[in-house]
């Protein structure tokens, strides 16, 4: 019942998490056709995906200003603007246009993401409950369903424009439910600045690695299955869908587990599980084994980012909590443009198997980082 009660408390930002998952699930399953549509090589496509990250990083200064300006409707407005940009990748006729559209999508997606994470943090303080895992679980569930349905739509002959148009209509309906009044106790003047540097740097590093690892599967798993393992369109879509489904399971389970144990212990074990999963996917001889690998990785990687966001919220004073979470979230966002670029170049030079195997080395860095986070003093 803790999952349902957490989602009931945070139902408005949870709808925004579903919107973000909806778009990126569709996008991940459409990567092979979008890449072919603009005639890009692996390396060039990786560079173009950099546009998303460029747009995402703008949210570190844009989101707080939008939220102060709009107040309660800020999340609804951000979600509606994001929905309005869904169809852009499908109308790109060349690499340059595609890259520019991804910048705009990065801005609108990042704005929604920062505001929804800040709203969950506000509700965590007001309710004295851990809510982050359940909300990130909504993202993963939406992502998995969207990727799976998009794969079936591709097999049925749907164009990217048709898929994104339907997704946009669903997103608009969800966005209209996200208006949220802020709890009075959180609307207060700052009485000073607590130290943000180490909590933001270390928790941001953990979040960055988690999101980078997630982004590699979101952007390249369908291509790995279709090109390396010779799978079809629906089989390719099952790669990101397997990740999204198991991430949803992991995050909803994490909502229960975190009430009984330490984030630090969970993150360490989750990292080891993620490493095992990505190595299985990298060496898989068939799509079925790749699904198993991506699924195991999803179970592990699912809780690392949300728990790092929750940790930074507890490591700083309440009056700077939203600022700290926004900064950590944006550091994490960087993973969504660094990872696809690196994957593109590694894939072009050494193949997708080596590119995925390199993710295991990246994940290993989480262990020393979380040990340092544990040593930070509480405010």
Encode pLDDT of 208-244 as tens digits.
999 889 888 777 787 888 888 888 777 887 787 777 7
The pLDDT, as a whole number, for residue 210 is: 93
Question: Residue 305: which H helix or E strand, with range?
Answer: helix 304-315
Non-local CB neighbours of 157 within 8 Å, separated by 6+ positions = none
CA distance 328 to 335: 12
Q: Taking residues 366-377, report their average pLDDT.
A: 93
Of 142, 52, 47, nearest to 89 by C-alpha is 52
pTM (predicted TM-score): 0.76
CA distance 287 to 299: 18
CA distance 140 to 153: 20
pLDDT digits (tens, 9 = 90+) for 238-297: 787 777 788 888 888 877 787 777 788 989 999 999 999 999 999 999 999 999 998 899
The pLDDT, as a whole number, for residue 184 is: 53
pLDDT digits (tens, 9 = 90+) for 311-359: 887 788 776 776 787 788 878 877 777 777 788 788 888 888 998 899 9
| Tokens 């996200």, located at residue | 178
Which range is most confident: 53-57, 93-97, 177-181? 93-97
The pLDDT, as a whole number, for residue 192 is: 45
Of 359, 358, 344, 363, nearest to 223 by C-alpha is 344
Return the number of other C-beta atoms located less than 10 Å from residue 285's C-beta: 8
The pLDDT, as a whole number, for residue 324 is: 82
The pLDDT, as a whole number, for residue 88 is: 95
Question: Two tokens at 347?
Answer: 């894939």
pLDDT band at 170 (very low <50, low <70, confident <90, very high): very high
The pLDDT, as a whole number, for residue 147 is: 85
- Average pLDDT value over all residues in the chain: 85
Check if the beta carbon of residue 250 is closer than 8 Å to that of residue 295: no
CA distance 76 to 64: 15
Alpha carbon 219 to chain centroid, angstroms: 12
Q: Taking residues 109-114, report their average pLDDT.
A: 87
Check if the beta carbon of residue 106 is closer than 8 Å to that of residue 338: no
The pLDDT, as a whole number, for residue 6 is: 82
pLDDT digits (tens, 9 = 90+) for 63-109: 777 877 887 888 999 999 999 999 999 999 899 999 999 999 989 99
DSSP for 253-300, written as a single string: HHHHHTTTS-HHHHHHHHHHHHHHHHHHHHH-SSHHHHHHHHHHHHHH
Of 131, 128, 101, nearest to 116 by C-alpha is 131
End-to-end CA distance of the chain: 31
CA distance 52 to 50: 5
Complete domains list, the chain, with CATH: 2-374 (1.20.1250.20)
pLDDT at 188 over 70: no
* Buried b or exposed e, range 321-352, using 16+ CB within 10 angstroms: bbbbbbbbbbbbbbbbbbbbbbbbebbbeebb
The pLDDT, as a whole number, for residue 306 is: 86
CA distance 276 to 272: 6
| Tokens 């439910």, located at residue | 177
Question: Residue 361: which H helix or E strand, with range?
Answer: helix 352-363
Of 324, 300, 298, 302, nearest to 311 by C-alpha is 324
pLDDT at 193 over 50: no
The pLDDT, as a whole number, for residue 183 is: 59
* Buried b or exposed e, range 168-193, using 16+ CB within 10 angstroms: bebbbebbeebebebeeebeeeeeee
What share of the chain has pLDDT > 70, as a percent?
94
pLDDT at 185 over 80: no
Least confident segment among 37-41, 53-57, 117-121, 352-356: 53-57
């Amino acid at each position: 019942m803790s999952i349902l009660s957490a989602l009931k408390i945070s139902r408005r930002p949870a709808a925004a998490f579903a919107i973000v998952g909806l778009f990126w699930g569709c996008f991940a399953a459409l990567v092979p056709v979008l890449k072919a549509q603009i005639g890009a090589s692996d390396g060039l496509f990786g560079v173009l995906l950099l546009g998303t990250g460029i747009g995402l990083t703008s949210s570190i200064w844009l989101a707080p200003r939008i939220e102060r300006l709009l107040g309660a409707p800020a999340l609804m407005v951000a979600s509606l603007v994001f929905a309005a940009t869904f169809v852009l990748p499908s109308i790109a006729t060349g690499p340059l246009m595609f890259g520019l559209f991804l910048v705009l999508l990065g801005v609108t997606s990042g704005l929604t993401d920062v505001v929804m994470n800040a709203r969950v943090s506000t509700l965590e303080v007001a309710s004295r409950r851990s809510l982050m895992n359940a909300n990130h679980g909504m993202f993963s569930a939406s992502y998995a369903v969207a990727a799976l349905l998009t794969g079936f739509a591709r097999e049925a002959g749907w164009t990217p424009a048709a898929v994104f148009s339907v997704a946009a209509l669903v997103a608009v309906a969800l966005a209209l439910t996200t208006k949220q009044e802020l709890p009075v106790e959180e609307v207060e003047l700052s009485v000073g600045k607590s130290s943000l540097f180490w909590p933001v740097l270390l928790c941001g590093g953990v979040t960055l690695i988690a999101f980078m690892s997630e982004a590699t599967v979101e952007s390249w798993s369908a291509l790995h299955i279709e090109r390396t393992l010779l799978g079809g369109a629906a089989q390719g879509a099952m790669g990101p869908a397997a990740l999204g489904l198991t991430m949803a399971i992991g995050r909803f389970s994490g909502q229960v587990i975190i009430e009984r144990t330490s984030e630090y212990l969970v993150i360490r074990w989750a990292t080891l599980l993620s490493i095992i999963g990505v190595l299985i996917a990298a060496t898989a001889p068939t799509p079925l084994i790749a699904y198993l690998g991506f699924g195991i990785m999803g179970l592990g990687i699912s809780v690392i980012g949300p728990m790092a966001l929750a940790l930074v919220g507890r490591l700083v004073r309440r009056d700077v909590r939203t600022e700290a979470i926004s900064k950590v979230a944006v550091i994490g966002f960087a993973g969504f443009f660094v990872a696809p670029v690196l994957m593109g170049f590694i894939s072009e030079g050494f193949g997708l198997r080596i590119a995925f195997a390199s993710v295991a080395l990246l994940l290993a860095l989480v262990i020393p980082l979380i040990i340092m986070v544990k040593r930070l003093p509480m405010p």
